[in-house]
Amino acid sequence: MTMDLDLPTEGQVALAEFGTEGVDITERKDGGVIKVVKRPGIAGETPMIGDKVSIHYTGRLLTGKVFDCSRKCKESFTFNVGKGQVLKAWDIGVLTMQSGELCTLLCRPEYAYGSSGNPDKIPPDSLVLFEVELLKFEGEKLTEDAGIVRRIKVKGEGFTSPNDGATVDIHLVGSCDGRVFDCRDVRFVISDFEDNNIPVGVDRAMDKMQKGECCILYLKPKYGFGSHGKPEFKIGPDKDLVYEVTLKDFKKAKEFWELDLQEKLNLAPEIKQKGNQHCKVGQYYSASIQYQRIVTWLEMECGIGPEQQQRIRDFVMTAHLNLALCFLRLKEYTQVVENCNKALEIEEKNEKALYRRGEARLLRNEYHQAMADFQKVLEVNFANRAARSQIALCQRKIKESDEQDKRTYANMFKKLAEPETKVGKLKREGGLRCSLNGDVKRRRRSQDFLSHQ
């Protein structure tokens, strides 16, 4: 790196500091990113590739001019490190930091803004300085409920990942409460994992990995072995799991849009059967994966001729009804309503769809809507005793809710009325005092008048 630049004193001091205290943190040791630690962080882990990190930063030219600063926005900057979302120098630098650490990075153009620079801010081919503070970091959430969290130890090759139905070769190490319970090489087909004693969370992470990647997966019970546990591994119910997984190789399957309609219809019964097997043993999330595959494959298909069209409708209808049942057991009531609505678009008076939607609405405290669904069930099947019981329950819930509302409003109005009552009382008391004071004054004047006679 050239140091004999025409710079002001501040820039020369900065370069001198990097020359004596700086550490080259690039993989090739080409001097592209030189780091000086200003304040050590909390001893412990550093971020891994893909982690969500929050930082504060200040960017300066070697002249000392500030061209960007997160603190001016009064908000930290957040990104997934090592994913190419930011400057190359940031990805390299932040991966070396500990939580709370403050450092300065001297970055060559090829690791920062390159030969183009940044119009009006950074001249072409400029060395730049960044002061970076790592506030916090956490693993990458692969699901909305944070049930699967990934931290990448070794980045994989390229950008291609396994797809649904792909055959994967992995090495895995599973642990629970610090105890290793599984360590092996295994081959399995994505979405067909249960026979290999692999939890659904590992299966779901596969399509996010690249060949050669090694990652750590943190699984909540829903994505591990659930409420049943895994006796053969001596895993009790509702246990968090940690898996280290290396994707050694994979062979992609046909994408669903590459399958012709007849292939989809031939595979659908087998997929449905797998879902049913999961459902019978209480593996509702695993079952939902299978039923969703049928919906994805067939929902937009039209078919040729009445017979094929009816087969498609039957598969899609059953899949939606079964998805509604799975999500009902998983307490994901919005998903229940959505799948029942889809089923009712196919068959307007489907008894199961109406009943399951009513159950979900009842559990969401939507008593009037739930009762309307159960009443529609009776219109379809007058002998449905369960629907009658649910209507009675809805009526009780509505009555309890109305009574609770009355009590709430009564208390509210009482509290609102209390100040007015106090004001009225004070006015009356004030009037009484004025009246008494007037009587006293009149008596005194009368006494004074008599004493002067």
Q: What is the pLDDT of residues 429-445, one digit of tens each?
A: 655 555 555 554 555 55
pLDDT of 195: 77
Output the CA torsion sign for 14, 15, 20, 22. positive
Residue 432, classed as helix, strand or coil, is helix
pLDDT of 214: 97
> Residue 127 above 80 pLDDT?
yes
Q: Angle at CA 332, nearest 5°, toward 331 and 337?
A: 115
DSSP 246: E
Residues in the chain: 453
Confidence of residue 422 (pLDDT cuts 50, 70, 90): low
At 141-175, the pLDDT tens digits run 999 999 999 999 999 998 899 999 999 999 999 99
Confidence of residue 44 (pLDDT cuts 50, 70, 90): confident
pLDDT of 404: 87
> Residue 31 above 50 pLDDT?
yes
Confidence of residue 368 (pLDDT cuts 50, 70, 90): very high
CB neighbourhood size of 406 (10 A): 10
Mean pLDDT of 26-50: 93
Burial pattern 350-368, b for ≥16 Cβ within 10 A else e, equals bbbbbbbbbbbbbeeebbe
Residue 218, classed as helix, strand or coil, is strand
Mean pLDDT of 227-253: 95
Q: H-helix or E-strand containing 13?
A: helix 9-21
Q: Can you tell me which residue has the tokens 């019970």?
A: 221
pLDDT of 257: 87
Tell me the whole-structure pTM to 2 decimals: 0.74
pLDDT of 451: 46
* Rounded CA separation 93/49 (Å): 12
Mean pLDDT of 407-430: 66
Q: What is the mean pLDDT of the chain?
A: 89
Confidence of residue 112 (pLDDT cuts 50, 70, 90): very high
pLDDT of 37: 95
pLDDT of 431: 57
pLDDT of 250: 97
Q: To 10 degrees, what angle do helices 305-329 and 333-346 make?
A: 160
**Cβ contact 187:167 at 8 Å:** yes
Q: Which has the higher per-residue pLDDT, 409 or 107?
A: 107
> Residue 450 above 60 pLDDT?
no
Share of the chain above pLDDT 70, in %: 87
pLDDT of 425: 60
- Best CA proximity match to 199, nearest among 169, 234, 164, 229: 229
Confidence of residue 428 (pLDDT cuts 50, 70, 90): low
- Furthest-apart CA pair in the chain: how many Å? 127
Q: Which of 77-81, 421-425, 436-440 has the highest mean pLDDT?
A: 77-81
Confidence of residue 88 (pLDDT cuts 50, 70, 90): very high
Helices (H) and strands (E) in the chain, counts: 10, 13
**Cβ contact 88:114 at 8 Å:** no
> Residue 102 above 90 pLDDT?
yes
Q: Which has the higher per-residue pLDDT, 191 or 130?
A: 130
> Residue 227 above 70 pLDDT?
yes
Mean pLDDT of 14-32: 84
Least confident of 214-218, 237-241, 290-294, 417-421: 417-421
* Rounded CA separation 94/83 (Å): 12
**Cβ contact 376:354 at 8 Å:** yes
> Residue 3 above 50 pLDDT?
no
CB neighbourhood size of 309 (10 A): 13
Query: Which residues is 175 bridged to in the sheet?
Result: 180, 242
**Cβ contact 56:70 at 8 Å:** yes
**Cβ contact 397:367 at 8 Å:** yes
**Cβ contact 51:80 at 8 Å:** yes
> Residue 77 above 70 pLDDT?
yes
